Structure 1
Amino acid sequence: MILVTGATGTVGREVVGRLPAGSAVRVMTRDPARAPDSVAAEVVRGDYDDPRSLARAVQGVRAVFLVTNRVGSDDDARFVEAARSAGVRHVVKLSAAAVADPLAQDLITCWQRGNEALLRGSGMEWTLLRPRAFMSNTLSWAPAIRSEQVVRALYGSSPTACVDPRDIAEVAVRALTEGGHAGRAHTLTGPEPITAAEQTAQLAELLGRPLRFEEAEVAQMRAALRARHPDTVTEALLESAERRREGGKSEVEGAVREILGRPAGSFRAWAADHLSAFSAG
């Protein structure tokens, strides 16, 4: 049995859809009504704050895809304890590329470092997936693109080797179903570094209409982020953006090609497949 947590999220949903036909799959979600319905999977309600629900979710499970996102929480500790007690053999953990950057000391990165250390010391087999920023993060631009034909972002000329979430999911499936991944950390990037201004230009070409890139002010971005995140997370995201401005997120890694036997997906290809989200109607 394979358990997928975060199955309603960007990567978890893709993992569920890519697991081999006939696999015994269980999906854990706080809201079973939102679980993917495209494949045959057992759906269980699970909450990191509810140890009993975690114990039920991991019962009889061999391997887990683990996603946690409440920064600063003990969600990983609670889950790892439940998994270890249930005899889970292998945990594939979604982490972050910044963990390997000694200059990245923001709250989110430090939290993920602690989560990785917890898993490595758990006694279970582990695989760490460390993706760079998701290409799908640009979906946050969609409302302004549709209404104003504009993209506003920080440090528009600073590149990042962002990655297609579908590539992350494919690597996760390999780690869950094949040997050779235990005890390894895979840093996952796209095929090339790309700036927000370049992404804007590519979206304009694909949409067939002009788009304008506007460099956002830090104060402007802070206000926008605070509308969606706690202040501590907002400041961590701004620190992360500074690392991008300093060039800390531009390095391309070869893990996607090595594991999947093909090049990592480009931003242009991802955008072409999601163009309807940016279209006016």
Structure 2
Amino acid sequence: MLDVDALRNALKGVSTLFLLNGVVADEFTQALVALNMAREASIKRVVYLSVIHADLYVNVLHFAGKFGVERMIETMGFSATILRPAYFMSNDLTIKDVVFGYGVYPMPVGGKGLAMIDPRDVGEIAALELIRREQAGTSLPLTRINLVGPDTLTGTGIAGIWSAVLGREIAYGGDDTAPFEQNLRKFMPSWMALDMRLMSERFLTEGMVPAAGDVDRLAALLGRPLRSYRAFAGELAASDQ
């Protein structure tokens, strides 16, 4: 998204833009380039994938960046839906071997609770919002939607789900974020490992708790219940057989 000419070409003929930026060091710059190119292309409708509590986790690098993008979307006057997903269940694919092989759920998610969401639900809701914006006869007001799962889960609660699914005891690895950061540094840049640690520290102090009515609103939008973490764990366990 730093290639201005490529973006100009990509946005030709586009009427509604779905904007998703990767968690990279220049995420904010990439997003601003994309938004300016969208305005240049006379695109007025945007669906942006932000993150829940972007305005609360103010010291977390990618949260702060996404909150800045939200403000720019609002200031630039786009007709926009800002989607704010909680922790993706699929993040836990990265620790599958630890859970299955060592009997430990190692993510320091704490006891406040995370309303984890299946990314398939995120994708479906994003598509519905893109269609709604595209087909509206008038400019719709800016809307923020928290994307959450049906259950708010703690570290011990998630370990309990894995214990039930696998039929053996899975322990929660605890709330110490320092070794979490050091492990991450083995396969990602140091700034990103710090970012993940800072995020996990906010899990411990604030959690990722839905607002009143979030779950019901999403279920009504989808016309079905949200996918649960237990179902996600069951699918993952079945795929390992």
**When the two structures are superposed, what TM-score results if normalisation uses the length of structure 2?**
0.85
Task: Give 1:79's aligned residue.
Answer: 34
Decide which structure has greater strand share: 1
Are residues 1:201 and 2:156 paired? no
SS at match of 1:98: coil
SS at match of 1:92: strand
Quick check: 2:112–2:207 contact (8 Å CA) kept in 1?
no
Give the count of matched residue pairs.
Answer: 231
Quick check: 1:161–1:250 contact (8 Å CA) kept in 2?
yes
Quick check: 1:90–1:182 contact (8 Å CA) kept in 2?
no
Task: Give 2:227's aligned residue.
Answer: 265
**Cα-Cα RMSD:** 2.3
Are residues 1:157 and 2:111 paired? yes
Task: Give 2:209's aligned residue.
Answer: 250
- For residues 149 and 107 of structure 2, what CA distance do their matches in structure 1 show? 20
- Cα offset, 1:72, TM superposition: 4.0
Decide which structure has greater helix share: 2
One-letter code of the match for 2:9? R
Runs of 4+ residues over 4 Å off in structure 1: 179-182
SS at match of 1:128: strand
- For residues 65 and 131 of structure 1, what CA distance do their matches in structure 2 show? 15
One-letter code of the match for 1:250? V
User: Residues 194 and 54 (structure 1 numbering): CA distance in 2 closer, same or farther, change over 3 Å?
Assistant: same
**When the two structures are superposed, what TM-score results if normalisation uses the length of structure 1?**
0.74
- Cα offset, 1:187, TM superposition: 0.8
- For residues 127 and 109 of structure 2, what CA distance do their matches in structure 1 show? 34
- Cα offset, 1:67, TM superposition: 0.7
Task: Give 1:67's aligned residue.
Answer: 20
Percent of aligned pairs with the same amino acid? 26
- Cα offset, 1:173, TM superposition: 0.8
Quick check: 2:8–2:41 contact (8 Å CA) kept in 1?
yes
Quick check: 2:85–2:117 contact (8 Å CA) kept in 1?
yes
Alignment gaps of 5+ in structure 2: none
SS at match of 2:105: strand
SS at match of 2:40: helix
Q: Which moved more, 1:203-212 or 1:89-98?
A: 203-212
- Cα offset, 1:248, TM superposition: 3.5
One-letter code of the match for 1:66? L
CA offset digits 1:28-75 (Å, max 9, x no partner): xxxxxxxxxxxxxxxxxxxx1211111121111111221102244300
Task: Give 1:220's aligned residue.
Answer: 179
